[in-house]
A = this chain, B = another copy of it.
Amino acid sequence: MPTKKQIADRHRRTRRDHASETAEDYVEAVAEIAASEAGECRVANLAKRFDVSHVTVTKIVARLVREGLVETEPYGPVQLTAAGRRLAAKCRERHETVYAFLVALGVPTDIAAVDAEGIEHHVSPQTLEQFATFVEKHAE
């Protein structure tokens, strides 16, 4: 049975995860939008994507710049740094695995899409591995 310290650690871990969830969602979105017909990712694209005001996007992008995940110039597009691209690729893969896993489990695709969005940030490498294994086994 877990000690009190371990329980506290678990919660602290959960909180720390929250802090980076937004970053993960944003770099993923930037990558997708830049790879789409749009060709580049602008603040307005992100605002629409997350259904928030452009101000919220601006503030979050500023934080991502501080963290070295994206680059941007005044009135210019938002571009991923090398670190941002790495993170985006990792998140995309993880997201797809979680989604595929839920679908393989028998969850309706529309529900799986919502749940994957929330779950993906909390899946450890070990659990993700089990998810992937399960998907392979059930890939008919």
Contact = CB atoms under 8 A, between A and B. Distances in A.
Interface of A: 2, 4, 6-14, 17-18, 25, 48-51, 102, 105-108, 110-115, 117-119, 121-124, 126-127, 130-131, 133-134
A8 B118 contact: no
A48 to B, nearest CB: 7
A106 B130 CA distance: 7
Q: Can you tell how many copies of this chain the complex includes?
A: 2
Nearest to A104: B130
Given A115-B124, A119-B122, A122-B122, A25 B10 contact: no
List of 9 A-B pairs having minimum Cβ-Cβ separation, nearest first: A118-B122, A8-B51, A105-B130, A111-B126, A119-B122, A10-B117, A14-B118, A115-B127, A107-B127
A48 B106 CA distance: 39
Given A6-B113, A106-B130, A118-B121, 16 more contacts: A4-B48, A4-B49, A8-B50, A10-B113, A12-B51, A13-B118, A14-B114, A14-B118, A105-B131, A107-B126, A107-B127, A111-B126, A114-B124, A115-B122, A117-B122, A119-B123
